[in-house]
Amino acid sequence: MIRRLVLSFTVATAALANSAAFSEPARIIVLRHGEKQNGYQLCEVGTQRAQALAGRYLGKGAEASLFAEGGAPDAFFAITPHTLELVSPAAITWGKPLIMYSALPQKGESGADRLRLLNQRTRQAVADVMANWSGKTVVMTWEHDHIADEKLETSFPNEKVTLRQLLNLDTIANVPKTWPGSNYDYFWIVDYAGSDRPTRFQMSKQSFTAPFQKVPSNDWGTLHKLPKSCKN
């Protein structure tokens, strides 16, 4: 009887240790929101990008799905109205939760207050993703300066404020230190296996087919001329 109890305790302890070791998601797909009209809405190009992403990469039955064959995303995360608007069409096709770590613009808030809120909500979102979505595939649609921004990171030397830092992408040599403000059309695909340090990082450019072939697909760091209704 005692031997069985010891054996059960050993197995349970091993199981707990194993689950703790594998608490991180299997894959995190990071992308920026679409082209915007103002502080709350995407412009026409941005809304077209949202629909195009659902049909080609992120939605159920997408023609060039970023998910493994037969696989599916387990959750979508967003932080601002722009990010919510971009990823909603894809999330709807799956009937999956869209988790909002809301950092809505507030009338009269200072730039410093805005920055602190985005820092805080980004940290909270990553803490959730890394602790509660073990072995899952998660999509994070985010603000570009809180994905990667060397200047922002330098401004907060004693805390992690970007996805690049919080997802430990800064341990990988080829990860860009800054996401250019002019660029809307890339994915960062991050894989984990038994550690909170990524085992694989991939940058992939969005490229669309009809009826969305005119949605911009510019190379990393190059500027695509946008209509007057849109702004960078």
Please spell the DSSP secondary structure of the chain, one letter per residue.
Answer: -HHHHHHHHHHHHHHHHHHHHT-S-SEEEEEE---BSSSS-B-HHHHHHHHHHIIIIISTT-TT-SSPTT----EEEE-SHHHHHHHHHHHHHHT--EEE------TT--HHHHHHHHHHHHHHHHHHHHHH-TT-EEEEEE-GGGT--HHHHHH-TTS--SHHHHTTGGGSTTS-S---TT---EEEEEE-SSSSS-SEEEEEE----TTSTTS--PPTTPPPP--TT-B-
**Mean pLDDT of the region 162-178:** 96
CATH code, domain carrying 124: 3.40.50
**Mean pLDDT of the region 119-144:** 97
5 located within any domain:
no
Query: Minimum mean pLDDT among 72-81, 106-115, 142-151, 173-182: which range?
Result: 106-115
pLDDT, position 228: 85
Structure tokens at 23: 């608490």
221 located within any domain:
no
pLDDT, position 169: 97
pLDDT above 70 for 61: yes
pLDDT, position 5: 37
CB–CB of 150/179 below 8 Å? no
pLDDT above 80 for 189: yes
**Mean pLDDT of the region 114-133:** 96
pLDDT, position 22: 52
40 located within any domain:
yes
pLDDT above 60 for 174: yes
Half-sphere exposure of 55 (CA within 13 A, CB side): 14
The pTM (predicted TM-score) of the whole model is: 0.88
Q: Which residues 6+ apart lie within 8 Å of 189 measured at CB?
A: 27, 28, 29, 30, 66, 200, 201, 202, 203, 204
CB–CB of 139/29 below 8 Å? yes
9 located within any domain:
no
| Domain count of the fold of the chain | 1
What CA dihedral angle connects 151, 160, 50 and 187, to 10 degrees? Answer: 80
pLDDT, position 118: 97
Percent of the chain with pLDDT over 70: 90
Q: Domain range holding 104?
A: 27-205
20 located within any domain:
no
pLDDT above 90 for 45: yes
Which amino acid makes up residue 180?
Answer: P
- Distance, in Å, from the CA atom of 13 to the CA atom of 4, rounded to the nearest integer, reads 14
Residue 77 burial by Cβ neighbours in a 10 Å radius (0-12, 13-18, 19+): buried
Return the higher-pLDDT residue of 185 and 20. 185
Q: What is the mean pLDDT of the chain?
A: 89
Q: What are the two backbone dihedrals, phi and then psi, of residue 75, each rounded to the nearest 5 degrees? A: -165, 155
12 located within any domain:
no
Return the higher-pLDDT residue of 17 and 53. 53
**Mean pLDDT of the region 73-85:** 97
**Mean pLDDT of the region 77-102:** 96
110 located within any domain:
yes
What would the pLDDT profile of 199-213 be if each residue is shown by its tens digit?
A: 999 999 999 999 999
68 located within any domain:
yes
Q: How confident is the model at residue 229 (pLDDT cuts 50, 70, 90)?
A: confident
Percent of the chain with pLDDT over 90: 75
Half-sphere exposure of 81 (CA within 13 A, CB side): 11
